[in-house]
Chains A and B, each alone.
Chain A
């Protein structure tokens, strides 16, 4: 084997270091352990195991007094664990060691933003921009400050600047997507979040937000697949499991939702959405004291921002009011003394808890007429009692209202009579040719009859009527599959579409 002097030169210091470590005096041992713990801490941080990362990195910074990387990661891990004042301290040291490090400036500003110190956060981001005027994370940070100050136009401008400055940096897509979600601009939000995932397919926060957006759009299969991918990438991140729990709640899978939320809680006991989710699960079970207790736990969490605090207080009051109403109404029902209004009120509460069967029974007992009878049909439809629903809608006739005709069509779809359903959807369109849901369900009915070409036309018309609504994304996906030439550009998301043509959501009675 040839002797390579250069390699020997490179290996010599390493060999010396290893020899020193092997001799294991106290100082060499401390140095060796610190480097190991630094690597372990960074790895834990990257897996989203922030508490473990903090522990390891604090051990490093206790001995390695000038290790910039240890302080930077410690600050970021503390921020992720919402220990903001400690994070600021750690990042102060990081900046003391590397005063011109852009990442440290932004990380410190983000910790300040986390603790609500908006002025200092803005100053920090501006400092970073002083070092590099097009530094995307700093522009993104100024957007977050503006958003926290309630200045949405300024926030949007900053996020857009951040995206323009670095199209490969995912955070501004996420934050702008969140802002659009808040403004109910769902289609734009999903486009942005999908772009975030496209530029960084392995970025947990991007997958998390996209999963939430899919859930908002009713794309539950995609939502579950996306959040599971985030969990796979970052098994230690509590937020991902909390989001999975929320999706499962929306799907009515209470047991699974509670399990996911408990798993989130085990990873981070200070996450407000975990307690809100557990409160909702308890409410759905009718366990109001337990639900209120979960909200109370959330209210005692440190680092709770004002917006979350107000939301929780409102939730607590609503739960207590609902508990009182349910107690009174159940007593009246048990004693056979419930008035039709009592029965309807209890039915509405049960419907709000997704207990459609009971809601249908209670509403049926109330001898409903008019709008209340429509409500009964709706509950029956949601309870998959299609025959009952069709009977009521049929008897109501459509009264010239396209929504009733559509719901009757949905009931017929549930009974497997797609041809009859098609007829009802066409009837709705004769009543109002611009009634977008009728186009959507017509497309579904045609597709189920194997008439993909006609279905595609119906979907295209639907998209023209409702291009950015809740169902547009799902329709685009179906179109992409059945008629790619008519579909908009293929979605950039690297997760295969799995949802079959729209699961019908009946039109709610007004």
Chain B
């Protein structure tokens, strides 16, 4: 939890999500209801060990729920964003959008044309 919020120049960034690999994981979990490890590895390009490590951090932050089950005697692990994780991701999106939209030079959604 200690890593969850960081303050940089008055801006609080949720570091549990902000790290690039965890951002990819949460973005993929955000668009589905639940997914297994292979799905997440395939779509994020992370290795098993990396994925496990990042999911542990997200789980510690309360952002993901990991369910282990056995299908035909093989371990099958499903992961889903918790309501808290979904809300945190929404907040992170809004925060980043506001941050970049406030930059001099205009909004990201309306690029300046010559």
Q: Do A and B bind each other?
A: no
